[in-house]
Amino acid sequence: MAILLASVLMPLTDSGGSTSTTGITTTQILVGGAVIGGFVGLLIGQRKGRAGTGLLLGMFLGVIGWLIVAALKPIDTKHSISSSRTTVRRPAAVANEDERRVRCPLCAEKILPEAVVCKHCGREIPPATLPSPPPGTPGGWLSDPSTRHPDRWWNGRAWTDWVRDKHGGTRYEDPPFTRV
């Protein structure tokens, strides 16, 4: 934008950039074009959550920058974390994973529930016992509360090591623990 504006208005100045009879210098033309281009880019970018991008592209590329900003996809602000200085945008899959996280019992940092070793402190996560079904539940194949298998055998008093890979499938053993 600034270059286009300068090339059109250049005949109004002499080659040294000094003021001509109109009182406009080359520097003033370039700066004015960059300010106007940046402002228009800012306005276009604000509607898409990309004000900074619009400002920079408008300042340096002018009309081409405006077209680029207009063609960009809007930023998804549904899954964002804001602070006083910056906003970090996260994809939906990462946002859902954050909701599942639990605190490490050793260092209190957030980890995935199926973690065996904490990625922050490097220590092994101690297993926790599985929650019992409601009192009076008869023994049988129930949904595995650790969610590692579809079914786990409840003997009427405690969870056993017996699990199945599918409903009605072959029985095998896996200790009845879950990660905190």
pLDDT value at residue 94:
56
Which range, of 6-10, 71-75, 111-115, 120-124, averages the lowest pLDDT? Answer: 6-10
How far does Cα 15 stand from its chain's mean position? 51
pLDDT of 165 strictly over 90: no
Q: Which has more confidence, 178 or 143?
A: 143
| pLDDT of amino acid 85 | 55
- pTM for this prediction: 0.36
Q: How far apart are CA 57 and CA 64, in angstroms?
A: 8
Mean pLDDT of the region 104-130: 82
Mean pLDDT of 144-173: 85
Domain that holds residue 136: 127-179
Instruction: Domain count for the chain, please give it.
Output: 2
Query: Is 138 inside any structural domain?
Result: yes
Domain end call among 35, 53, 71: 71
- Residue tagged 């286009």 (tokens): 4
Q: Is the pLDDT of residue 142 over 70?
A: yes
Is 18 part of a structural domain of the chain?
yes
Residue 154 lies in a domain: yes
pLDDT of residue 35: 92
Q: Give the Cα separation of 23 and 11 in Å (integer).
A: 12
In the chain, % of residues over pLDDT 90: 14
Confirm whether 112 is domain-assigned.
no
Q: Is residue 45, in this structure, part of any structural domain at all?
A: yes
Q: What's the alpha-carbon Rg for the chain, to the nearest Å?
A: 32
Residue 97 included in any domain: no
**Please, are residues 143 and 130 in contact by the beta-carbon 8 Å criterion?**
no
| Residue 104 belongs to some domain of the structure | no
Give the 3-state DSSP-derived string for 60-129, with helices as H, strands as E and coil as C.
HHCHHHHHHHHHCCCCCCCCEEECCCCEEECCHHHHHHHHHCEECCCCCCEECCCCCECCCCCCECCEEE
Strand 171-173 vs strand 159-164: parallel, antiparallel, or unpaired? antiparallel
Question: What pLDDT is stored for residue 180 in this prediction?
Answer: 44
Tens of pLDDT, residue by residue over 70-89, are 998 888 765 555 545 555 55
In a domain, 134, yes or no: yes
